[in-house]
Amino acid sequence: MQESLDRKAGIGLRSVKAEYPAERINTVINAAANAESTEQAVRRMGSPTENITVSFHNDYVKANAEYRDKAGVKCYIERTGSNCCPWCSAVAGKYEIKDQPEGIFRRHDNCDCVIVYDGKVLRGNVGENGRRTKTWAEDKSRAARIEYANSAPKPVKYTPEQARALESNILAQNALTNGRERGIMLPDIIIGRSVGARAHNYDIMDLVTGEHFTLVEGSRLQNVEVFAGKGSNKPYRNAYKYAEKFGGEPSDWQHVKGNGYVDYYGEERQAELHWSQCEGYGKHDFFVKRWLDEG
């Protein structure tokens, strides 16, 4: 919904998810579960649940406003409904994000304040239809690459035992491919269409600009090839990192590439995409290796 509103305003940025308040929710659930009566459980669930829900919304507003401010959108935070206490009345109003008063996102029990934000595209940062300009991309590309490199799994230093196990796996995969193929070809991956619920899709990062996209619904990932890890004769050096993070055995993880159509602000652009995958543990960290329409 947020992305649809932004597109109408000429802002072509993805929405950012706030951190899910799992610990707070579990605390309320446990308190209700230990109640001595139904009435006591309702009391313990009522106000705290409402407060957590609205606080989660406020965290979402804060995360997206700050993200858009960094991307060049002039964001304003507005807090209304300030009649519940003097403190809320003092912080009520509309502020540019850099001038927001301290604690504007805070809440208390029975607080009836509503916090929203709106944004205005600044010329030279986010272009027509929300597409970032070449100047912005040039200014941000180095920072985006550094940020991605810092968040990506790092090369692994193997113990002698791990190295021997990895060598055995490589020899086994070489035997399967007769030592002649670098990798194995996999079937096309079909990207479904939304019918009622959102179709399964993948988050794709452009390493040059740091932007995130999804695949065109109803399209296919084609020429899918495993070029490192299981099914190839090349070791996947980040396999242990992915196994530790998502599960499975390191010897089962694969580094894969394929060609797909990316939804680039309503346009279809073909790109060579890379990602990591393991049967039973999903596909992760899609990124654009190169845009095929740029050669």
Distance of CA 147 to the CA centre of its chain: 14
Q: Is 285 left (phi over 0), alpha (psi -120 to 50) or beta?
A: left
DSSP-based three-state secondary structure for 108: coil
Please state, in angstroms and rounded to a whole number, the distance separating the CA atoms of residues 43 and 179. Answer: 68
Claim to verify: residue 51 and residue 91 sit in the same structural domain: yes
Q: Residue 155: what pLDDT?
A: 59
Claim to verify: residue 53 and residue 127 sit in the same structural domain: yes
Claim to verify: residue 283 and residue 173 sit in the same structural domain: yes
Residue that is last in its domain, among 87, 102, 131: 131
Rounded to an integer, the average pLDDT of 34-58 is 69
Per-residue pLDDT band at 77 (split at 50, 70, 90): confident
Rounded to an integer, the average pLDDT of 207-232 is 90
What is the overall mean pLDDT for the chain?
Answer: 75
Tracing tokens 């990192």 back to the chain, one arrives at: 241
Claim to verify: residue 154 and residue 123 sit in the same structural domain: no
The three-point CA angle 237-165-279 to 5° equals: 60
Claim to verify: residue 152 and residue 254 sit in the same structural domain: yes
Is residue 136 a part of any domain in this protein?
A: no
Neighbours of 91 (CB within 10 A): 18
Is residue 137 a part of any domain in this protein?
A: no
Claim to verify: residue 174 and residue 118 sit in the same structural domain: no
The domain in which residue 264 lies consists of: 144-294
Is residue 97 a part of any domain in this protein?
A: yes
Residue that is last in its domain, among 100, 131, 162: 131
Is residue 138 a part of any domain in this protein?
A: no
Claim to verify: residue 176 and residue 283 sit in the same structural domain: yes
Is residue 183 a part of any domain in this protein?
A: yes
Contact status, residue 201 vs residue 217, Cβ threshold 8 Å: yes
Among 15-24, 110-119, 135-144, 214-223, name the one with the lowest average pLDDT.
135-144
Rounded to an integer, the average pLDDT of 83-88 is 74
Is residue 96 a part of any domain in this protein?
A: yes
Claim to verify: residue 74 and residue 25 sit in the same structural domain: yes
Is residue 195 a part of any domain in this protein?
A: yes
Whole-angstrom CA distances from 5 to 1, 119, 120, 130, 212 are: 6, 11, 12, 12, 17
Claim to verify: residue 120 and residue 185 sit in the same structural domain: no
The answer to whether residue 273 scores a pLDDT higher than 90 is: yes
Is residue 206 a part of any domain in this protein?
A: yes
pLDDT in tens, 9-22: 555 556 666 676 67
pLDDT in tens, 220-252: 999 999 999 998 888 998 999 999 999 999 999
Q: Residue 145: what pLDDT?
A: 59
The answer to whether residue 272 scores a pLDDT higher than 90 is: yes
